[in-house]
Structure 1
Amino acid sequence: MITLRPTDLAREHGISTQAVRNYERHGFLPPAERTPSGYRIYTEVHAAALRAYLSLVPAYGYAAGGQVMAALHRDDLDEALTLIDRGHSQLLRDRDTLDAVRTAVRHLTAESAAAPVPAPGAGTRTVGELAHQLGVTPATLRNWEGAGILTPARDRATGYRVFHADDIRDAELAHLLRRGGYLLEHIATVVQQIRTAGGTDALAASLDAWQHRLTARGRAMLHAATYLSAYLKHVETENDGSGCRTSTAPHQHR
């Protein structure tokens, strides 16, 4: 059996030896044996565990990556796989959301291009008119306003809501996303992104960066699966070689 020092594991990843010890203490690595003088003795199993953990981080995040490794070291493979499944489900939801936003932006951009240029002061809607245009109730629009999706102005004379072009765009986007089953909180976030970007054209350009991030996460998940599988094989080989299963539950350090 090849033995390794904390510096050997740390050097491979450009991290500190204290980080390696911390990962072991938190259960991300299996507990190390100790020499009579108290020094840790790491093996290829620990090196494989560290590679697996560090590959999980960009794919699933620090918290989930640590939970996966800790579950494995509690001998709970099903829990680890469930955590991984949740990460994949979240990525799929993010992809669906991106597709929905892109569809909405294309829809709104096409409508804007086809519509005639309104005269100054034209193109506004009352709450009733906008509700009729979208086929929803005025109460629905008021709910969207309460969720932060719509921010209509008020007529100074009457106090009634007045929806301008940007408000109508936001309402149409909200209507489209609601039909897709998205929650009001999520729609409010998307609408805020449009406002921050300065309109649908600017948002459409930023969606490419979102797509690249999702692609990077998907590739990171494939990368992590390779290292996680390699780690499990190391554990199985070590257990088969000893004739019994070695516990990987964390223990207290001196």
Structure 2
Amino acid sequence: MNGAERVPLRTADVARESGYSVQQVRDLERLGVIPPAARSANGYRSYTPVHVRALRAYRGLARAVGPVVARQMLAELRTQPLTTAAAAISDAHVRLARERDEALRAQEALRAIRTEAKGGDFAHEGDAMTITELAGALGVRPSALRFWEQEGLVVPDRVTSLRARRYGLSAIGAARIVAALRGSGYGIPAVRDIMGSLHRLDGVEDTERILRRRLEQIAARTVALLRAGADLAAVVTSTEDGPTG
């Protein structure tokens, strides 16, 4: 760490540079988002520019993955080896890319449902997935698919006396749309209403708008994560330069 990085900063300085209020800086320090500040003999907090960069990193990370996950990640990134911390940041990018892929697949499924409603071909023999395969593809637990089934959102084909579930293309498409809607924050009653409206043209159009907004939100979150990149790099490398307090 160079001399400039060791210039002591007051809480008000950190607040001004990071865009947070003084109270928010103290709260985020208490939550472990930034390392504890050094204390002077009279009890005043003393920060460094590394604290500012950690707060900026948190802002972008919170927009990308949510504040709860961001708080946990920042606390861990500061204490993990560089290789582990870098992998965790890469994983955040991968999760966003996967969410985007699933939203695109939900759009494809919606187009297929519209084609099917017009009398087109949708399902094909042999195109089916087990509950474990579908859950893995969607990034959800099998219990989520069972719950959606109970709620009448996704109805699989049942085979064998053990009630093993297999999902044809229609059910897979419905599951992708449900997953995208749930990822957009829609509750089960709202999802049920939307799924029930897909036999109508206006229902399909409304769902198309929701999925477009979903993709726009994922794009905004991805940009926020990219903007946080340099500050995240400063956080994960700060432990190599010595203590920040």
TM-score, normalising length: structure 1: 0.63
**Paired residue for 2:206?**
202
* Other-structure match for 1:213: 217
> Does residue 1:56 correspond to 2:61, yes or no?
yes
Deviation per CA, 1:222-254: give whole Å up to 9, x if none. Answer: 112122123445554xx2xxxxx3377xxxxxx
Q: Secondary structure at the match of 2:56?
A: helix
Cα distance between partner residues in 1 of 2:91 and 2:64: 12
Pick one of 101, 123, 146 that aligns with 2:150. 146
2:34 is equivalent to residue 37 of structure 1: no
Counterpart of 1:230 in structure 2 is: 234
Q: What is the CA distance between 1:64 and its match in structure 2?
A: 2.0
Q: 1:76 to 1:148 in 2, by over 3 A?
A: farther
Indicate if the aligned counterparts of 2:37 and 2:45 stay in contact, CA closer than 8 A.
Answer: yes
Instruction: Give the alignment of 1:1-254 within 5 angstroms.
Output: 1-113=6-118, 146-149=150-153, 173-176=170-173, 186=179, 192=192, 193-195=194-196, 199-232=203-236, 236=240, 239=241, 245-246=242-243
Q: Give the residue type in structure 2 aligned to 1:47.
A: V
How many correspondences in the alignment? 198
Q: Is the 8 A contact 1:194 1:200 kept in 2?
A: no
Distance 1:176 1:102 in 2: 9
Aligned-partner residue type, residue 6 of structure 1: T
Instruction: Give the 3 Å change call, closer, same or farther, for CA 216–196 of structure 1 in structure 2.
Output: farther
The secondary structure found in structure 1 opposite 2:32 is coil
User: Looking at CA atoms only, which structure, 1 or 2, has the larger radius of gyration?
Assistant: 1
Could you tell me the percent identity over the aligned residues?
32
Stretches of structure 2 that go unaligned for 5 or more consecutive residues are 1-5, 132-145, 156-167, 184-190
For 1:4, give the aligned amino acid.
L
Q: Take 1:36 and 1:189, find their aligned partners in 2: how far apart are those partners? A: 52
Q: Which runs of 5+ in 1 are unaligned?
A: 116-131, 152-170, 240-244, 249-254
CA distance in 1, matches of 2:209, 2:43: 57
**How far 1:100 sits from its partner (Å)?**
1.7
Give the equivalent residue in structure 1 for 2:135. none
